[in-house]
Amino acid sequence: MPEVGGLLHAGLLVADLARAKTFYESVLGLVTCARPDLPYPGEWYELGGGQQLHLMCLPDPDAGTSRPEHGGRDRHIALGVKNLAVLGSRLDAAGVAYTASRSGRAALFCRDPDANALEFVEII
């Protein structure tokens, strides 16, 4: 049986890389990291602990399908944040809609400009 040791990166499809970069860098405050020369546009972000988020500007095979309103009921990635209130203020200022976790945890969900669901969990 293989021993899985953690999540190294998550990859998200985006249609407009400039628009996605504005969201991930200006709203969420992520910092880019080195990306190999690949045959499609994209951006990589360092999340700490050797983990990364990869944005890939490629056709979305699910384009046109409906997504659940609440991101917690959809495929999503969860990211840790130090202060959920600060993130909520940044999302509000950028006009990004979000919902609180329905489980009562200190977490919220939003969608990026390409409708990728993101969960943010407050870590202390």
Q: Is the pLDDT of residue 97 over 90?
A: yes
Residue 90's H or E segment, with its range, is helix 84-94
**Residue 98, both tokens:** 């979000």
For the segment 3-30, what is each residue's pLDDT rounded down to a tens digit? Answer: 888 889 999 999 999 999 999 999 999 9
3-class secondary-structure state, position 76 = strand
> In terms of C-beta density within 10 A (0-12 exposed, 13-18 middle, 19 or more buried), how is residue 53 classed?
buried
Rounded to a whole number, what is the distance in angstroms from the first to the last CA of the chain?
33
| Homologous superfamily of the 9-59+67-122 domain (CATH) | 2,3-Dihydroxybiphenyl 1,2-Dioxygenase, domain 1 (3.10.180.10)
Q: Which of 55, 47, 38, 25 shows the shortest CA–CA distance to 116? A: 55
Residue ranges per domain, the chain?
9-59+67-122
For the segment 38-78, what is each residue's pLDDT rounded down to a tens digit? Answer: 999 999 999 999 999 999 999 999 888 899 988 999 999 99
